């Protein structure tokens, strides 16, 4: 499927998808989205990249070790849980506050975002790791 | 110093130092043994520091909250009984480590050796001072584990590995788990894990004895103690444990760890004793074990093996005496048991150290190859004779006194039980005494007396240095001292220990000469019969060998090997019955059970509710989607080649995404559509490698069966959905109200789906991402292993 059409479309769509995925992650607490959806979105975008340019060709430019992502993500999520114990609360308890930022106005900041980033990374890493391994096979 | 602090230090100093041992070993090399011994000495001195308080009849009890939600504290409880065992652990530990500096070759992995010994010592002291049953259990298992490590110290010897495994399976596995269950039952009865609470509360003890669970609790705790002290059928681990280095055997498998079971019996004595079950279980097991083990000891040619069986038999004495407490004066048996516990530790450790010396100097432990060493090793000979004669019960040594008390207690309990026990129990006691006498003499005779066995012995054998003789000599000195002046151990050690068991202050009078009594007569009979048996010693040993050859299955070890030796094979046979291979075989029972458990209630409900009125009003645009869903589903089932079928399935998935949009669930819709995209891509990647049409011909009957299953599943789910959406089944109260109300308040988030994922149910999410993690690793392994098989 490494045709010019898919490649051209992919060049436009993939950055948009990545951008959208990050936006889904960050706004997930208040609007549709979140770490899981954002992660799947990201994985889909990268798999589109792999398909339209071919696994071997894309590896020349862009070849992360996805296992690091899910390993680090799991670590982050667990650390977020244990962090709340250290802070004196139950496991995975979250807290939030409101920040006043220029341009954005009042923004809600929740400690759950750390855990959500962990989920995000595990989903990306897990899916793309499987995807790449199957593609290589 | 603050007394609880001293106790805590005595427990944790060995643990702390054990961590440092490997680093120190790099600096001081093989002198590490002296540093470790020093720690043993410090622990011992710390205990000496607190002993005046205990001798005065006080107890030290101190605890801090540990896991308050289940009522588990971390506490120390020091009374005479626990102090006695702790003294043995630290004192003999010190002597053993000093002895080891000479015994262990400098080429051995000394850091590991001393590390294990220190860990064991700490666990043992921690176990006896535990004021809480859970804490006791943890330290209890630690002693089993360190014992396992020490028995298997020489990792390359298959017998060591075998012995280590056996001890772990029987003491930590069988015994430890039984003990844990017993502890939990005890908690179920009393509502507390705290030992002093139970000991102090008379009404609780009455409650326990009258409770339905009494027998089960006692039995499980007794199994734990019996496995640890190698009593009853569990004795088989101790002879194999002799693969450990000899100082370890002296320390763990004669003086301390095997005493843990007896300590436990002493500890729960006030709780359970005075009942028939206690008498039958504890005293009965003790009486049988002492005779059987004493008899089996005669056959051993390895002196360590002989000592192992004699240890089992001697521990059985103590066990029996703790059991002798049903009807009459309980203090008699308890005093005798506690005194023998102390005496056995001294004379048996002496003997083990002597065996170590003999093996070290003469390079063999085989009693048939030894002989006539008295002239070359005069000091060793004297020490060994003191130890062996004390075990045989010869005056004026301490073993004589506790043996006399054992006879006295046996006569007493027999008399209180009446016919035929008034003869039976003293007779069993005397038989055990006779056997003990015979093998004790054999140790002296076999090694030191008779003709020198030049064929097997090195040309020159001599007494070892003071480092190895010293510890044995100190112990032998104690044996003599406690024998001639029994009031010393009685007033300083035994009285506090006994009052820790019977929970009353007690004053014991003991002297070497106590007049012409029944027990003195029994002792004389014992010596007489012992000499006769000794003359037949070889004949009995040969008969046992013959018997074993003829009946190889008449042995507990045979069954142990049958069960545990073939464990992997048997596990394979069983698991192959469940793990058959094709996924269809697993799906079938899962689906069947799931469906049946729902189908019957649904049918019953339908019958009750008839007639039912339905309401099928649907907007036309939704209807179109549903018709498309049905179409794609049917196509997916009937299309005979892979790619179109996969596309049909994925179309079905996208359509369901649209249904979520109708239901106003954007999160679900996005997830569904994205996940569907990814699965489709992966599916296509996979099927591009395989033939495009179904080649497999499914047999008719299987096809029909599968269609039947599918139809059942589909119709059941259909019924459930129908009833639920039509409001026929009473709807449960929706959980979403709670989240709607609390979401912004507690977490500040407006998207409830996400808030549930990362807040309210975040532990579930953590579990799910672990699943993703494992799935990724699983896929990697699958692809990887397939590549290797090619």
Low-confidence stretches of chain A (pLDDT beneath 70):
1, 104, 137
CA distance B349 to B474: 11
pLDDT, position B329: 62
Instruction: Mark whether B403 and B544 lie in a shared domain.
Output: no
pLDDT, position B618: 80
Over residues B445-459, the mean pLDDT reads 83
- Residue that has been written with the tokens 């992502």 in this structure: A69
Q: In chain A, which residues have their Cβ closer than 8 Å to the Cβ of B751?
A: 28-34
pLDDT over threshold 70, residue B344: yes
CA distance B151 to B157: 11
For chain A, the domain total comes to 1
Of the candidates A130, A119, A29, A110, the one whose C-alpha atom is nearest the C-alpha of residue B767 is A119
Instruction: Mark whether B563 and B607 lie in a shared domain.
Output: no
| Geometric angle at alpha carbon A106, from A104 and A108, rounded to 5° | 105
Q: Do B758 and A35 touch (CB under 8 A)?
A: yes
Mean pLDDT is highest, among B289-303, B538-552, B559-573, B718-732, for: B289-303
Mean pLDDT of chain B: 87
Which of B744, B748, B775 is the best residue to mutate to test the A interface, defined by the most A CB atoms within 10 Å of its own CB?
B748
pLDDT, position B719: 82
Over residues B192-218, the mean pLDDT reads 89
Radius of gyration for chain A, computed over Cα atoms and rounded to the nearest angstrom: 17
Instruction: Mark whether B356 and B372 lie in a shared domain.
Output: yes
Helices (H), B485-582: 487-489, 495-502, 518-535, 537-550, 556-560, 567-578
Instruction: Mark whether B638 and B665 lie in a shared domain.
Output: yes
Instruction: Mark whether B406 and B519 lie in a shared domain.
Output: yes
Helix, coil or strand: residue A34: coil
Which of B664, B747, B758 is the best residue to mutate to test the A interface, defined by the most A CB atoms within 10 Å of its own CB?
B758
* Angstroms from B674 CA to nearest CA on chain A: 6
Instruction: Mark whether B688 and B653 lie in a shared domain.
Output: yes
Which residue range(s) make up the domain with B786?
734-790
pLDDT tens digits for range A101-127 = 777 677 777 788 888 899 999 999 998
Q: Is the peptide bond before B611 cis (omega within 30 degrees of 0)?
A: yes
Instruction: Mark whether B422 and B461 lie in a shared domain.
Output: yes
pLDDT tens digits for range B509-527 = 777 777 778 888 898 899 9
CA distance A19 to A42: 9
Which of A10, A98, A130 is the best residue to mutate to test the B interface, defined by the most B CB atoms within 10 Å of its own CB?
A130
Report long-range pairs for B75-78 (Cβ below 8 Å, ≥24 apart). Answer: B75/B130, B75/B131, B75/B132, B75/B135, B75/B194, B76/B4, B76/B7, B76/B8, B76/B11, B76/B129, B76/B130, B76/B131, B77/B129, B77/B130, B77/B131, B77/B195, B77/B196, B78/B7, B78/B50, B78/B54, B78/B129
Instruction: Mark whether B549 and B680 lie in a shared domain.
Output: no
> DSSP secondary-structure letter at A89?
S
Instruction: Mark whether B470 and B344 lie in a shared domain.
Output: yes
The number of C-alpha atoms within 13 Å of B381 and in the hemisphere containing its C-beta is: 17
Which residue range(s) make up the domain with A92?
4-136
| Helices B257-272, B133-151: crossing angle, 10 deg rounding | 160
Contact B726, B605 (CB under 8 A): no
Q: Looking at the domain assignment, is residue B715 inside a domain?
A: yes
* Angstroms from B652 CA to nearest CA on chain A: 19
pLDDT over threshold 70, residue B696: no
Q: Looking at the domain assignment, is residue B149 inside a domain?
A: no
Q: In chain A, which residues have their Cβ closer than 8 Å to the Cβ of B686?
A: 134
Closest to A37 (Cβ–Cβ): which among B670, B682, B755? B670
For chain B, the domain total comes to 4
Instruction: Mark whether B702 and B560 lie in a shared domain.
Output: no
Q: In chain A, which residues have their Cβ closer than 8 Å to the Cβ of B758?
A: 29, 34-35, 94, 112, 115-116, 119
Mean pLDDT of chain A: 84
Write down which residue in B733, B753, B772 finishes a domain: B733
Which of A122, A124, A135 is the best residue to mutate to test the B interface, defined by the most B CB atoms within 10 Å of its own CB?
A122
Over residues B211-222, the mean pLDDT reads 93
Instruction: Mark whether B418 and B463 lie in a shared domain.
Output: yes
pLDDT tens digits for range B372-431 = 888 888 999 999 999 999 999 988 899 998 898 899 889 888 888 888 888 899 999 999
CA distance B479 to B490: 14
pLDDT, position A1: 60
Q: Looking at the domain assignment, is residue B236 inside a domain?
A: no
Asked whether this complex has an ipTM greater than 0.85, the answer is yes
Q: Do B667 and A34 touch (CB under 8 A)?
A: yes
Residue of A nearest to B768 (CA): A119
* pTM attached to this predicted model: 0.74
Residue of B nearest to A131 (CA): B682
pLDDT over threshold 50, residue B181: yes
Q: In chain A, which residues have their Cβ closer than 8 Å to the Cβ of B779?
A: 129-130, 133-134
* Angstroms from B789 CA to nearest CA on chain A: 14
Closest to A29 (Cβ–Cβ): which among B755, B765, B769? B755
pLDDT tens digits for range B54-71 = 888 888 888 888 888 888
């Amino acid at each position: 499927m490494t045709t010019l059409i898919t490649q051209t479309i992919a060049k436009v769509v993939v950055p948009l998808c990545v951008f959208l995925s990050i936006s889904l992650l960050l706004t997930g607490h208040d609007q549709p989205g979140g770490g899981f959806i954002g992660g799947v979105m990201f994985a889909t975008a990268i798999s589109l990249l792999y398909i339209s340019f071919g696994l071997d060709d894309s590896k020349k430019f862009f070849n992360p070790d996805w296992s690091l992502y899910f390993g680090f993500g799991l670590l982050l999520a667990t650390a977020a849980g244990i962090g709340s114990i250290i802070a004196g609360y139950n496991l995975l308890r979250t807290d939030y506050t409101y920040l006043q930022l220029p341009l954005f106005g009042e923004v809600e900041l929740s400690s759950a975002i750390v855990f959500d980033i962990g989920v995000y990374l595990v989903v990306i890493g897990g899916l793309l790791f499987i995807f790449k391994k199957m593609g290589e096979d | 110093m603050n007394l609880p602090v001293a106790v805590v230090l005595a427990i944790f100093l060995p643990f702390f130092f054990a961590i440092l041992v490997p680093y120190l070993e790099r600096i001081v090399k093989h002198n590490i043994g002296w540093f470790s011994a020093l720690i043993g000495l410090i622990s011992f001195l710390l205990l000496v520091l607190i002993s005046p308080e205990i001798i005065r009849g006080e107890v030290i009890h101190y605890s801090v909250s540990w896991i308050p939600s289940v009522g588990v504290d971390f506490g120390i409880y020091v009374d005479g009984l626990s102090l006695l065992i702790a003294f043995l652990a630290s004192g003999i530990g010190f002597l053993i480590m000093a002895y080891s500096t000479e015994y262990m070759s400098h080429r051995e992995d000394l850091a590991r050796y001393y590390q294990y010994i220190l860990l064991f010592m700490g666990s043992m002291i921690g176990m006896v001072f535990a004021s809480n049953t859970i804490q006791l259990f943890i330290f209890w298992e630690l002693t089993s584990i360190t014992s396992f490590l020490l028995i298997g110290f020489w990792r390359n010897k298959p017998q060591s590995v075998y012995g280590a495994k056996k001890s772990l399976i029987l003491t930590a596995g069988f015994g430890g788990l039984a003990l844990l269950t017993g502890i939990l039952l005890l908690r179920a009865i009393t509502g507390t894990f705290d030992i002093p609470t139970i000991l102090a509360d008379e009404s609780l003890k009455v409650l326990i004895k009258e409770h339905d669970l009494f027998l089960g609790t006692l039995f499980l705790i007794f199994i734990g103690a019996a496995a640890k002290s190698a009593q009853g059928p569990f004795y088989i681990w101790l002879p194999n444990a002799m693969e450990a280095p000899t100082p370890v055997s002296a320390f763990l498998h004669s003086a301390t760890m095997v005493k843990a079971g007896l300590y436990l019996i002493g500890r729960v004595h006030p709780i359970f004793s005075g009942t028939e079950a206690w008498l039958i279980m504890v005293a009965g097991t003790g009486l049988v074990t002492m005779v059987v083990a004493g008899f089996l000891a005669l056959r051993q040619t390895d002196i360590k093996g002989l000592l192992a069986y004699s240890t089992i038999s001697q521990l059985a004495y103590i066990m029996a005496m703790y059991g002798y407490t049903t009807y009459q004066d309980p203090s008699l048996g308890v005093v005798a048991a506690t005194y023998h516990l102390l005496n056995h530790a001294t004379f048996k450790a002496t003997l083990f150290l002597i065996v170590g010396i003999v093996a070290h100097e003469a390079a063999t432990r085989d009693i048939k190859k030894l002989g006539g060493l008295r002239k070359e090793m005069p000091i060793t000979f004297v020490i060994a004779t003191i130890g062996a004669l004390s075990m045989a019960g010869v005056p004026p040594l301490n073993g004589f006194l506790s043996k006399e008390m054992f006879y006295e207690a046996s006569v007493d309990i027999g008399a209180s039980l009446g016919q035929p026990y008034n003869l039976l129990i003293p007779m069993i006691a005397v038989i055990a005494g006779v056997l003990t006498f015979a093998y004790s003499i054999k140790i002296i005779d076999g090694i030191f007396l008779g003709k020198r066995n030049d064929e097997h012995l090195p040309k020159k054998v001599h007494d070892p240095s003071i480092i190895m003789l010293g510890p044995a000599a100190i112990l032998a000195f104690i044996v003599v001292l406690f024998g001639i002046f029994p009031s010393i151990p009685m007033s300083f050690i035994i009285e506090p220990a006994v009052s820790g068991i019977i929970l009353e202050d007690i004053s014991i009078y003991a002297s070497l000469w106590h007049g012409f009594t029944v027990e003195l007569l029994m002792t004389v009979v014992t010596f007489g019969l012992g000499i006769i048996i000794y003359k037949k010693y070889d004949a009995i040993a040969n008969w046992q060998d013959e018997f074993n050859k003829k009946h190889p299955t008449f042995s507990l070890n045979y069954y142990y090997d049958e069960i545990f030796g073939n464990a992997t094979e048997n596990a394979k046979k069983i698991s192959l019955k469940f793990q058959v291979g094709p996924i269809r075989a697993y799906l079938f029972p899962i689906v069947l059970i799931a469906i049946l458990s729902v189908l019957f209630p649904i049918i019953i409900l339908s019958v009750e509710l008839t007639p039912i009125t339905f309401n099928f009003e649907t907007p036309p645009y939704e209807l179109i989607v549903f018709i498309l869903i049905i179409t794609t589903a049917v196509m997916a089932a009937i299309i005979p080649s892979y790619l179109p079928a996969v596309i049909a399935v994925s179309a079905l998935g996208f359509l369901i995404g649209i249904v979520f949009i109708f239901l106003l669930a954007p999160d679900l819709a996005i997830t569904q559509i994205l996940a569907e995209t990814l699965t489709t891509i992966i599916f296509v990647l996979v099927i591009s490698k395989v033939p495009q049409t179904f080649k497999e011909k499914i047999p008719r009957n299987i096809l029909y069966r599968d269609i039947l299953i599918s139809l059942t599943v589909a119709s059941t789910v259909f019924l459930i959905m129908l009833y639920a959406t039509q409001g026929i089944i009473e709807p449960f109260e929706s959980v979403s109200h709670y989240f709607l109300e609390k979401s912004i308040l507690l977490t500040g988030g407006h998207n409830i789906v996400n808030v549930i994922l990362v807040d309210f149910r975040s532990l579930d999410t953590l579990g799910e991402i672990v699943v993703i993690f494992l799935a990724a690793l699983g896929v990697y392994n699958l692809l990887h292993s397939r590549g290797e098989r090619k």
